[in-house]
Structure 1
Amino acid sequence: MYQNGGTIKSLLDKVQEKNLVLPAIQREFVWKPEQICSLFDSLLQGYPIGTFLYWKIKPENRNAYQFYEFVQNYHQRDASHCPRLIDIPEHEFVAVLDGQQRVSSLNIGLNGSYHQKIAGKWWSSDDAFPEKLLYLNLLGEPNLDEGTEYDFQFLTKEKAKNSNNTAHWFLVSRIMTEDLDDLTDELDEFIDDKSLVKIARNNIRLLFRTIHDKPLISYYEEENQSLERVLSIFIRMNSGGTPLSYSDLLLSIAVAQWSNLDAREEIHSLVDELNSIGDGFAYSKDLVLKAGLMLSDIGSVGFKVENFNKTNMEKLESNWEAIRDSLRLATSLLASFGFNGQNLRADSAILPIAYFLHFHKRTNEYLSKSQYATDRENLRLWLVKSLLKASGIWGSGLDTLLTGIRAVIQKSDGKVFPVEKIEAFMTSRGKSLKFEEEEIEELAELEYGNKRTYALLSVLFSGFDFSHHFHVDHIYPKSLFSKKLLRQEGLNEEQIDKYQILVNSLANLQLLEGTINNEKRQKMPADWYKLIWPDETARNLHLERQAITYLPESLLDFEQFCFQRKETLISRINQVLNQS
């Protein structure tokens, strides 16, 4: 039977008091800032926000299961997981089976903060994750395109100070603790136009009534204490909704069936650990879960219910430590090749590598010992070739491909990564790593910012220690190609348009260590190379390695430079990728 759950304020009070918690079978918080803003807009417009599904936990079962708190201060890098509930209430309490995203969003908006990465900044930089709080523009206009009536936004405190007679930003969390009259009275100090003050006051009053007075929460409560029963309800409630991935549901099964380890904790902590290796990766729990199936030799590697039976989950749990070590080693290997979350085109490409390291019991010695150097290089070339295929090796038919590669590795002697046999199998599955002339031409047209560009450059030019920070760098700096500077060189508008395209083309790109790249800005390459390599023989050797046979000192000859280097690159691409 559905019941009235009171106001949003009373709901969040239960969250703060730990009387409303999350069971371990729940997934992580995944809503974006715009979804939270949309929820608050719906509330103020009077739209229903759905019914919640609760699970009543009796005192005698308080320690039988794992529980978690709701997210309050979300940080995309440092606090993206729900914290584990340490002080479990001794009395009866409630776990939320359906409604986590909504409750967490309300908690973040009214009690917490949201730290989201700024595009283009490094994951390792704290400045990439500024604290943002939820604000309401009390003078905002409806957005007809988006169907929103109220202007909610997550802003930094600094940006929220930019209030005027068209935008007055009100910190939404103040509605939880401050007196309504005080909040409305202060508006006279900040807004000059009395008609606008009236609008702002009405919006604050509406927000206050929505949070404190309106009984907007309704719920259905399940009292059965069996986790199997609850899991069945949970899957039935969620399997029809697209936002919850199927792997989330299967992870719930693993959580319920592991006996000695906490599957949720283990998988999420491993994802975080792997993503912190090198310059940082962007693996998901889906990848780690699929790796668990593959490395445990379970079924067809697919996310199918039959693969998540009790026997298989026991096998996965018993092999977990070795699986974790192999994934760490494989990720460290990719980092030593210079890959990271920004240039690794397909995360699934790590799985055959991890399986080879796991099945043949390779250790950390594989990363550095000279006896493995040739094998590491062959493995790297195979990996890069698989990432360069425009058709997408690691897309459709992935489970069948991985299962087949696993069988090939099982039959190998383990002395080396069996590149030839794996490639032969891939060819039989219509995923050949042979590059035709048209494909080579297409690769030679790659541009700056394409995820395949780093991978291609990394195999065209030998001798780099990729454990250092290497950047994809413009040989002729992009800063020299503004329309103003190009006009000063005497180029017409048609030539300027062509140059601004060519500057980002593969012909004008190289790999350069980050610290050197910073020193090079705005210098003509001929001058810069003479400065860095004053010895002419050493300089020419470096240029030859970089496939630079012609280096004009004037931008007027830039198009000819690109033409000649592209021809050199096409020859080298064919030679490296097809070993001809």
Structure 2
Amino acid sequence: MGYRVTTIAETLNRINRELFIPAIQRPYVWSPEQITGLFDSLMRGYPIGALMFWDLPQGSQEDWEIYNFIYNFRHESTHNDRATLTEGQPVTLVLDGQQRLTSLIIGLKGSYTIKQKHKRKKSDDAWNEKILFIDLAASPVKDEADDEDASPVAEHYRLAFFDHDQRPQNSAGELWFEVGLVLAAEDETELEHMLHNWVDANVVLDESRRAVARANLTRLWMAIWRDDALSYFTEHSASYDRVLDIFIRANSGGSPLSRSDLLMSVITLRWEQFNARDETERLIEDLTELLSPKRALNREFVLRTALFLNDLDFSIKVQNFVPNNIRLLEQSWERVKAVLLFSARLLRSLGLCGDRLSGTNVLMLVAYYIHRRNLGCIELKIAPEDSQLIRRWIIVLGFQGLLGLQTNNTFKTYRNAVRRAVKQENSFPWEAVAEAFRGIGRPMDFNRESLARWCNTSLDNQPQAELLLSLIYADDLPNLQRRAMPAVQNRFFLPEEMRRAGVSEALAPVIQGFAGRLILSVALDSREQEDYFALSFEQWAQTLSPATMDMHCLPEDLDLYRMDRLPDWVSERRRLLEKKLAGLASANRVRSSGAEALASTQSDT
């Protein structure tokens, strides 16, 4: 068919009338700097790349999810509005060029809204709507001496976005012009009126600046109304497979589209009951709101999880998205979505969100267990003691670094172990998974080396220290309304205090080495803190009941609570911690921990 050329003004007139976006397209992602760069290229007469269209066959509108282009873009918003079409309306879909066309729309007819730093998204004053302007009085001609060190892609024209409600104030030698106003001059006569009103009648600019401004405004008008700035190829085939192949080829060479974006296009074409793009974007938003993860959740994570929960190969590669697998993903989508949201709420309730979430991969692992545990059940459930096993398991998993290397092999091993174990066990199969991990050389048990790392972790290393300390308690510390604190207050490590406590100068450095380490840490509630702050280490120990000492894994021998006996105290507590941490996999251990905590509270009361 060959390529055709056209003007920007003519193409903009077709937008959302006959030119639309197919659901296989990714959301708009360009930055304001990319937009100004695009307009600078147009002003300089540079090519901006060919576009690719597809004339949708008559009667096939219902086979496609069709969207409008965005005029007023809001940063971090990923949704285009669904197009409202009349029966028989001619429709041309943009297969390649959405980002460039949307940028032209924003610059000439729309706006770019950006969130201010340190403002909450839901706050009314958090967002600034910005409009594109050009300084007509700025000369694009550079002095050769100035150009020696300039970047070859540096902009020649002065373009910038300004707040919609705070238009730029012209300083000396400036003439800021809203770029979109050029659309009002449809012919040369109207252009001359615009030149007269904006440039010739301007008494502030000197004659040389007015000459530059007249040339720049004329160049802008030519770039929009007269230059054949856009070239495009139009496909007319009725074959979806051919069109999809064209789309993937057009968007895979030199474009930042990810593989998951391209595979999402395949799924979107073949799903019949759901719109895959809308569904995944809403799910990502919901999961992000629940977990506030350090690393962003994305389509790849959702696709991998959907494959993982269906016991399929979960690598993001084309051969895993054959028609049969795509149908299975659609049939299981409601379940996948429900399991992921349930698992995210569970993690949040356990305090494993935000900075306390070691990584998004743990969500996939938890979701698989929830799915298999509730296989055949409409309502998803998990026992409280089971959730505490999961909490502790995730903390250990992160501490031992088991999700770093060979992730796929680790995940396959985990999935196989869980699938076998849930048929025989009624709680989270910690020991079965641990045994499977040992088989691939990835032990998660607490050995001497890992116990030493646990004990030597700095209490200042939040949230890691708080999570590790919570392993010895029945629940997450905030849920228990407990605060991680050093068993020996920092003031008792001062040289004067240690001399008063009978610590020799030779022993002082050894004892000071324990300060601020997890080996000396406990989690105290507000009532326990009253005694803690009011008493010395030795006096405080005498207020503790045996049940309280057992809950905190503290030595029972009160003679060890003298500062000069602290090394012996540390040795005994290390033994108690070793015993406690070795029993984390036992469901009965979790139940007894809860009973111990309750008994401790009652006895101290």
Q: Is the shorter-chain TM-score for this pair beyond 0.5, marking a shared fold?
A: yes
Counterpart of 1:331 in structure 2 is: 344
**By how many angstroms is 1:578 displaced?**
7.7
- 2:180 counterpart (157, 173, 176): 173
- The letter for the 2-side match of 1:218 is S
- 1:247-267 alpha-carbon deviations (Å, 9 max, x no partner): 112111111222322222322
Check the 8 A contact 1:279/1:335 in 2, yes or no. no
Q: Distance in 1 between matches of 2:388 and 2:172?
A: 63
Q: Does 1:289 align with 2:289?
A: no
Q: Distance in 2 between matches of 1:352 and 1:74?
A: 36
- The letter for the 1-side match of 2:91 is F
**By how many angstroms is 1:48 displaced?**
0.9
Check the 8 A contact 2:459/2:466 in 1, yes or no. no
Q: Distance in 1 between matches of 2:482 and 2:166?
A: 34
**By how many angstroms is 1:96 displaced?**
0.9
Return closer, same or farther for 1:66/1:427 CA change in 2, 3 Å cut-off. Answer: same
Counterpart of 1:380 in structure 2 is: 391
Check the 8 A contact 2:173/2:205 in 1, yes or no. no
Check the 8 A contact 1:533/1:539 in 2, yes or no. no
- The letter for the 2-side match of 1:379 is I
- 1:509-546 alpha-carbon deviations (Å, 9 max, x no partner): x9xxxxxxxxxxxxxxxxxxxxx9998337569x999x
Return closer, same or farther for 1:123/1:302 CA change in 2, 3 Å cut-off. Answer: farther
Q: Distance in 2 between matches of 1:27 and 1:373?
A: 41
Q: Does 1:28 align with 2:27?
A: yes
Question: 1:477-488 maps to which residues of 2 (within 5 A)?
Answer: none
Q: Describe the SS at the equivalent of 2:286.
A: helix
**By how many angstroms is 1:50 displaced?**
0.8
- 2:469 counterpart (460, 469, 477): 460
Q: Distance in 2 between matches of 1:285 and 1:55?
A: 26
Check the 8 A contact 2:135/2:176 in 1, yes or no. yes
- 1:131-150 alpha-carbon deviations (Å, 9 max, x no partner): 23333344567793462223
**By how many angstroms is 1:60 displaced?**
2.4
Return closer, same or farther for 1:469/1:313 CA change in 2, 3 Å cut-off. Answer: farther
Counterpart of 1:39 in structure 2 is: 38
Q: Does 1:422 align with 2:433?
A: yes
- 1:269-295 alpha-carbon deviations (Å, 9 max, x no partner): 222332333668842122111111111
Question: 1:223-302 maps to which residues of 2 (within 5 A)?
Answer: 223-277=236-290, 282-298=296-312, 300-302=313-315
- 1:186-211 alpha-carbon deviations (Å, 9 max, x no partner): 36669555544443443333222212
Q: Describe the SS at the equivalent of 2:463.
A: helix
Count of aligned pairs between the two proteins: 495
Return closer, same or farther for 1:366/1:57 CA change in 2, 3 Å cut-off. Answer: closer
Counterpart of 1:156 in structure 2 is: 163
- Structure 2 length-normalised TM: 0.69
Question: 1:291-440 maps to which residues of 2 (within 5 A)?
Answer: 291-298=305-312, 300-340=313-353, 344-361=357-374, 372-388=383-399, 393-394=402-403, 396-413=405-422, 415-429=426-440, 431-433=442-444, 436=449
Return closer, same or farther for 1:151/1:457 CA change in 2, 3 Å cut-off. Answer: farther
Q: Distance in 1 between matches of 2:574 and 2:205?
A: 70
Q: Distance in 2 between matches of 1:285 and 1:319?
A: 17
**By how many angstroms is 1:332 displaced?**
1.3
Q: Does 1:220 align with 2:196?
A: no
**By how many angstroms is 1:352 displaced?**
0.6
- 2:216 counterpart (173, 178, 203): 203
CA RMSD of aligned residues (A): 4.5
Q: Does 1:134 align with 2:128?
A: no
Counterpart of 2:557 in structure 1 is: none
Question: 1:490-569 maps to which residues of 2 (within 5 A)?
Answer: 536-537=530-531
Percentage identity across aligned positions? 29
Check the 8 A contact 1:267/1:285 in 2, yes or no. yes
- 1:330-370 alpha-carbon deviations (Å, 9 max, x no partner): 11122223455566452222101111111212889978x8x
Check the 8 A contact 1:4/1:218 in 2, yes or no. yes
Q: Distance in 1 between matches of 2:459 and 2:219?
A: 56
Q: Does 1:185 align with 2:197?
A: yes
- 1:31-54 alpha-carbon deviations (Å, 9 max, x no partner): 233222322222222221111111
Check the 8 A contact 2:8/2:230 in 1, yes or no. yes
Q: Describe the SS at the equivalent of 1:173.
A: helix
Q: Describe the SS at the equivalent of 2:161.
A: strand
Q: Distance in 2 between matches of 1:577 and 1:105?
A: 57
Q: Distance in 2 between matches of 1:190 and 1:157?
A: 26
**By how many angstroms is 1:100 displaced?**
1.4
- The letter for the 2-side match of 1:415 is N
Counterpart of 1:99 in structure 2 is: 97
Larger radius of gyration: 2
- Structure 1 length-normalised TM: 0.72
- 1:37-95 alpha-carbon deviations (Å, 9 max, x no partner): 32222222222111111111132223332211122222245x41222212256232211
Return closer, same or farther for 1:165/1:223 CA change in 2, 3 Å cut-off. Answer: same
Return closer, same or farther for 1:36/1:340 CA change in 2, 3 Å cut-off. Answer: farther
Return closer, same or farther for 1:292/1:167 CA change in 2, 3 Å cut-off. Answer: farther
- The letter for the 2-side match of 1:9 is A
Return closer, same or farther for 1:22/1:456 CA change in 2, 3 Å cut-off. Answer: farther
Q: Describe the SS at the equivalent of 1:378.
A: helix
Counterpart of 1:82 in structure 2 is: 80
